[in-house]
Amino acid sequence: MRRKESVNLVEVAKAAGVSKTTASDALRNSGRVSERTREHVVAVANRLGYSPNLVARSLRSSSTGTIGLHLPEVLTRSEYYMSFVLGVVDRAAKMDYDVMLITAHNVPSRRFHRVDGVVLGDPLETDTVVRGLLNSSVPVVTCERYTGDAEPAAVVRSDHAGTLDRLLDHLRSAGARDIAFLASSTVTDWGRTLQQTYLRWCERHDMRPRLREMAFGSPTAVMQDNVRALLNADPAVDALVCAPDGSAAAVLPVIRAAGRTIGEDLLLASCVDSTALHHTDPPVTAIDLRPREAGAACAQLLFDILSGEAPEGTVSALPIGLTERRSTRG
C-alpha cells in the first residue's frame, strides 16, 4: 500500500554521505565506526525518521528477535494462563524480544522461520500444534513435561506431587478423614501427576479414594453436576480438593445447596489459586502455582538455550506454594 512512505538505510547513508555499510554499523552501534560518524549518522537517521526494516534484518541475520508462545486451545477463561502470558511477555521484552501467539493454522513440518524459539504452556499430548513444533527444528521449552514421545530442548517444572501431599496432610491434620478429589484429565503432565499423587496418598493413609475426572476445559455445569453427585453418593466425604482451574469457585453454590458448611463440615481446597478464591466466603485454601514466574522462567530458559548458556535437556525447577485460608481451618 503506502509505498515508499518509510525511509530506508540507503537513503540515510546517502543523506549522511557514507556507505550503507557504515550507516548500518553506526546505527547498530557495532563499534566499527568512529564516534564522530556514528553521531552524525544517528542524527541524520532521526531527522529523516528512519526505522530499520526488521523483516529485512531477520532475513539477512537469520534471527528474528521473536519467540513463539502456544497454549492449550481449551483454556477458555483462565487467570492462570493470563498471568503466564504476562510473565513470558515481560521477560521477552526485557531481552528486547517480541512474542508471537502461535495457533493451529500454520505450523510447518520442518522449520518455523518466523521465531527463534517457542514456549509451550502445558503441552497436551493430543495437540497437533505441539507435536508439529516439537518435531520442527526450532528450540522448544515446555512448562511441565510433555507426556508424548518427543523431547523439548528444555523444561520448567514444579513440585506438584510434593505440594499436593502437603495439602492433603494439611487437610488430614485439620480433621478430614474422607477426602474427595475432583481431578483434571491426565492429558497433561500436571493432571496426571495430581491424580497419581492423590491415589498414592490415599493408599498410604488407608483412605478410600473418591476421584472424579473431568475433561480439560469442562464447562462449569459439568463440574457442578459432578460435585452434586459426589456429595449425594458419599455423604461421609468431609473434604474436597478441586484440580481444574475455576472448579473450586464454581462448585461453591452446589456445596451450599447441599446444606454443607465450608470450612466446618466440608473442607475445600483448590489446586489452582486465583483472586476469586481470596474473596469467597470463606476464602479458599489453594496451591499457588506462581504462573507469572513460570512464564518468565520459561522465556528465560529459552533465551539461555538460544545463547548456549543452558545445555539441551535442562530441567529447571520452579518453586510453588500452598496458601492456607479459612476453608480448611476445620
Partner DNA sequence: TTGAAAGCGCTAACAA
Partner DNA sequence: TTGTTAGCGCTTTCAA
Which residue in 199, 186, 92 sits closest to 144, CA to CA? 186
Interface residues with DNA (CB under 7 A) are 8-10, 17-22, 24-25, 27-28, 32-34, 36-37, 52-53, 56-57, 59-62
Kindly tell me which of 52 and 330 has the beta carbon lying closer to DNA: 52
Kindly tell me which of 164 and 291 has the beta carbon lying closer to a copy of itself: 291
Q: Is 134 helix (H, G, I), strand (E, B) or coil?
A: helix
Residue 115 is placed in which grid cell? 521465531
DSSP 151: -
Q: How far is the CB of 194 from a copy of itself (least distance, A)?
A: 22
Kindly tell me which of 55 and 229 has the beta carbon lying closer to a copy of itself: 55
Residue 327 is placed in which grid cell? 476453608
Kindly tell me which of 241 and 254 has the beta carbon lying closer to a copy of itself: 254
Q: How far is the CB of 2 from DNA (least distance, A)?
A: 11
Q: Residue 202: left if φ>0, alpha if ψ -120 to 50, beta else—which one? A: alpha
Residue 294 is placed in which grid cell? 513460570
61 binds, among DNA, a copy of itself, none (CB under 5 to 8 A by kind): DNA
DSSP 78: -
Kindly tell me which of 101 and 206 has the beta carbon lying closer to a copy of itself: 101
Residue 249 is placed in which grid cell? 469457585
196 binds, among DNA, a copy of itself, none (CB under 5 to 8 A by kind): none
- How many C-beta atoms lie closer than 10 Å to residue 148's C-beta? 14
Q: How far is the CB of 41 from DNA (least distance, A)?
A: 9
Interface residues with a copy of itself (CB under 8 A) are 2, 5-7, 46, 49-56, 58-59, 64, 66, 76-79, 81-83, 85-86, 89-90, 92-94, 96, 98-106, 108-114, 137, 220, 246, 249-250, 252-253, 256, 274-276, 278-281, 283
Q: How far is the CB of 207 from a copy of itself (least distance, A)?
A: 28
* Strand residue runs (E) in the chain: 66-70, 98-101, 117-121, 140-143, 154-158, 179-184, 210-214, 239-242, 267-270, 285-288, 314-318, 321-323
